[in-house]
Structure 1
Amino acid sequence: MSTNTDIAKLDDLIVTTIDSIKGYEHSAEHAERDRYTEFFVAMASERRQVVDALSAQSRELGGTPADYGSTAGTIHRRIEDLRRVLGGGDKAILSEIERGEDYLKEEFERAIADEHISSGTNGVIRVCFESVMRGHDRAKQLKEALAAAD
């Protein structure tokens, strides 16, 4: 178990979670219903807390946490824009949010399963994963409720 491995894994999760923040902020700007805007703003705030926890662990290990998202995250937001413009509205936004949440969940699951990560870092990741799962489940519920209303 190397500190460098921990820092690298934390950085991957930080970048992916920053993508999630940006995705929620972007979605909040374009949502048609206030309830979705409020949800997206709240989720962006929760994700910032996850980034703060992961960043604190990285700094404790001597790392310099990332403060930017990825190119893939930017592309994902452009896909959301396209789907929304083509008439998808909130339904398209929630579909893209759910896809992003699925990806984030998988990234955290891979990190937790990584045997090369120290127990301390794994513990921080597990605590953050609880927040990720709550957000994932809420996004899925909102999407299903919107689909049922149609």
Structure 2
Amino acid sequence: MTSESQNRLNQRTITALQELIEINLDSYNGFTKAANLIEDTTLQHHFAGVAQERIRQAVGLQQLIDSDDEQPLIEGSIAGRIHRAIMDWKDTFSEGPNAVLTEVKRGEDYIKAKYEAVLSRTAGSKAAGLLKRQYAAVQQARNRICELRTKFTAT
């Protein structure tokens, strides 16, 4: 394994960044799907906004990997497609947006945990600053989902 530096990423970090690209693409697709499933315009707008943030994050990670002369991933995972199929099922057989919000929160918990794991392994690398900014955006989106879930559970 090559050493990590401010100029070059080691293979372990590149692999971790590839995972984050995949997760961000899955998240983009999931939030886009959720925005189309939900009738509430507030949720539609929020989900669409998070989707756009996640595609920007994926592109940022792709550019970082590309700058290291590596080939970044360009699509999401099979697990992400399964997750979106579950959201379809929950929307069809549930009352109101709470089931979709519950599933979205589960996805947000997952992406947050992935960022935390990668951040703990990449301190001091050229990826650290970008990852910290993206993690803050993930935390903010997750917190907002929790607020919305509480609001819709109460109504």
**Residue in 1 that maps onto 2:106:** 99
* Contact residue 50 and residue 131 of structure 1 kept, 8 A: no
**Aligned counterpart for 1:146 among listed residues 135, 143, 152:** 152
Distance in 2 (CA, whole Å) between partners of 1:60 and 1:66 is 14
Q: Does 1:15 align with 2:37?
A: no
Candidates 43, 56, 77, aligned match of 1:49: 56
Structure 1 stretches lacking a partner, 5+ long: none
CA distance in 1: counterparts of 2:61 and 2:21, whole angstroms: 7
Q: What is the distance in 1 between the residues matched to 2:124 and 2:72?
A: 17
The residue correspondences of 1:89-128 to structure 2 (distance < 5 A) are: 89-114=96-121, 119-128=125-134
Match of 2:138 among 127, 132, 143: 132
Amino acid at match of 1:146: F
Shift of 1:118: 5.3
Q: Is the 8 Å Cα contact of residues 53 and 128 (structure 1) preserved in structure 2?
A: no
* Residue of structure 1 aligned with 2:43, choices 1, 14, 36: 36
**8 A Cα contact 1:7 1:61, kept in partner:** no
Structure 2, unmatched stretches of 5+, are 5-9
The structure where helix makes up a greater share of residues is: 1
Deviation beyond 6 Å, 4+ runs, structure 1: none
Give percent identity, aligned residues only.
Answer: 28
CA separation of 1:66 and 1:88: change in aligned 2, threshold 3 A: farther
Q: CA RMSD, aligned part only?
A: 1.4
TM-score, length of structure 2 as denominator length: 0.89
Distance 2:63 2:148 in 1: 31
From the superposition, tell whether residues 73 and 97 of structure 1 become closer, same or farther in structure 2 (CA, over 3 Å): same
